[in-house]
Amino acid sequence: MTSEYALLKRAQAYDKQAIGELYDQYAPLIYAYLYRRLRDAQLAEDLTGDVFVRVLQAIQSEQFWERSFRAWLYRIAHNLMVDYFRRQQDVPPLSLDEQLVADLASPVSAQAEALSYQQLRSAISQLTLDQQQVLALRFGEQLLTREVADIMGKSVGAIEALQHRALTKLRDIVHGEEE
């Protein structure tokens, strides 16, 4: 019995300490994932809390998390985000990402890099949600293809194809804008 499994079993009984430990361990991961998808720190933080509230609502059904609790969290986060987009009926505004500018070193190169990120962000928003998800999980979360397959409920082959299509389309969009 792994220590995480034991922790999850305690969380099933709504043991506050166990739930707190799970939150401390995984909330930063989920926040980062949501931020990468939404580019809005406040919203990502709010939705991170919602992810764990949903965990509490469904943790009794062990089948949801017995294979991988982390994969389950990513699935919930993705579903919540999709629900959020549908409620909003539009994508987040594409303003210059101030945080990106602030985090980069030289003011001139920072501005250039931020503009290229802006272009990338705009290009990502033109991909399908599945394509966006596969890119965020592979290159944001740095997960392996089989882990992404587990999270998205698809085969490894399907993820490889999706990843290929997403990168090709992204490159075409960025390249097209540059020309």
Q: Is position 128 an interface residue for another protein (rule: CB under 8 A)?
A: no
Q: Is 107 in the site for another protein (CB under 8 A)?
A: no
10 binds another protein (CB under 8 A): no
DSSP per-residue string spanning the chain: --HHHHHHHHHHTT-HHHHHHHHHHHHHHHHHHHHHHH--HHHHHHHHHHHHHHHHHHTT-GGGTSS-HHHHHHHHHHHHHHHHHHHHTSPPP----HHHHHHSSSHHHHHHHHHHHHHHHHHHHTS-HHHHHHHIIIIIS---HHHHHHHHT--HHHHHHHHHHHHHHHHHHHHHHH-
Shortest spacing between CB 29 and another protein, in angstroms: 10
Which CB sits closer to another protein, 32 or 108?
Answer: 32
Total of chain residues touching another protein, rule CB under 8 A: 69
Among 57, 109, 125, 155, binds another protein (CB under 8 A): 57
Minimum CB separation of residue 69 from another protein in Å reads 14
Among 91, 96, 115, 161, binds another protein (CB under 8 A): 161
Distance CA 103, CA 27 (A): 22
Does the protein bind another protein through residue 99 (CB under 8 A)? yes
Q: Does 132 bind another protein (CB under 8 A)?
A: no
Question: Minimum Å distance from CB 38 to another protein?
Answer: 11
Q: How far is the CB of 57 from another protein (least distance, A)?
A: 4
